[in-house]
Amino acid sequence: MTALKNKFDSIVFDLDGTLWDSSANVALAWQAAINQVDYVDELMTREKVRSITGLAYNVIFDTLFPYLDLEKRNELMAICAKSELEVLYSKGGDLYPDLDETLNYLLKKYKLFIVSNCQNGYIEVFFKISGMAHYFSGHQCYGTKGTPKAENIKDIVNDHQLTAPVYIGDTIGDYNAATKAGVPFIFANYGFGKVESGQIATINTFGELITLL
């Protein structure tokens, strides 16, 4: 485990399933949005939200509502996005244990960033709710330019001239994006997904990063 200490100059984090879990309140928000339209009749659950976490925001709606035409799907996506930010702004998400203490430790040794497949404004809501914006030197998301996560990781690396970054996430999509961006991957096993191989390390709690890095 100690082999990873002093190996990196920066850490790039995924958000959902890595830093917090907002799936219960996202499900509430999306259900409220679904109730506003007459062309979807289904129950949005925390399990459904977790099943698509990590996908690009537009792909989420392609996956959940394949039977809708593009116009209706885009309309629902816009209503869900608005509802999501409103609900999370008041209710937030569940921060993983030891988040503050661990980020405080890591900041002394590394530059910290977030790259997520979320919509515009979502990372800012996380900052507002958690009060942890001061730990991070920058962030990028799908909603900014509509580009895939691998490209957003590359942007952070290039924009901040990082020479030895590592990416931490909880899904196979995170692993694939990091690999495509040429960045080593640490798997957060407490999150929503499964990664069987390829990661340089696996953590079972966020606090384990203190001993790992």
For residue range 188-210, what is the model confidence (pLDDT) as tens digits? 999 999 999 999 999 999 999 99
Element (H, E) at 141: strand 138-141
In terms of residue numbers, what domain contains 176?
2-21+95-212
* pLDDT one-digit tens code per residue, 112-154: 999 999 889 999 999 999 999 999 999 999 888 889 999 999 9
State the maximum Cα–Cα separation within the chain, in Å, rounded to a whole number. Answer: 56
Same domain, 202 and 159: yes
CATH number of the domain where residue 140 is located: 3.40.50.1000
203 with 113, same domain: the answer is: yes
Do 163 and 66 sit in the same domain of this protein? no
User: Are residues 41 and 104 located together in one domain of the fold?
Assistant: no
In this structure, the strands spanning 165-169 and 138-141 are unpaired
Query: Alpha helices, DSSP H only, in 23-116?
Result: 23-34, 46-52, 57-64, 70-91, 99-107
- The number of domains in the chain is 2
110 and 69 co-located in one domain: no
145 and 197 part of one domain? yes
pLDDT of residue 68: 97
How confident is the prediction for the chain on average, in pLDDT? 95
Instruction: Give the end of a domain, one of 91, 117, 142.
Output: 91
Q: Are 11 and 48 a contacting pair, CB within 8 Å?
A: no
Q: Averaged over 165-183, what is the pLDDT?
A: 97
Cα 145 to Cα 56, 142, 149, 157, 206, distances in angstroms: 12, 6, 11, 16, 29
The CA-CA-CA angle for residues 17, 170, 114, to 5°, reads: 70
| Residues 111, 161 share a domain | yes
52 with 124, same domain? no
Instruction: State both tokens at 198.
Output: 């390829």
The helix (H) or strand (E) run that includes residue 188 is strand 185-188
The answer on 200 and 119 residing in a single domain is yes
**Rounded CA separation 19/22 (Å):** 10
Q: What is the pLDDT of residue 2?
A: 54
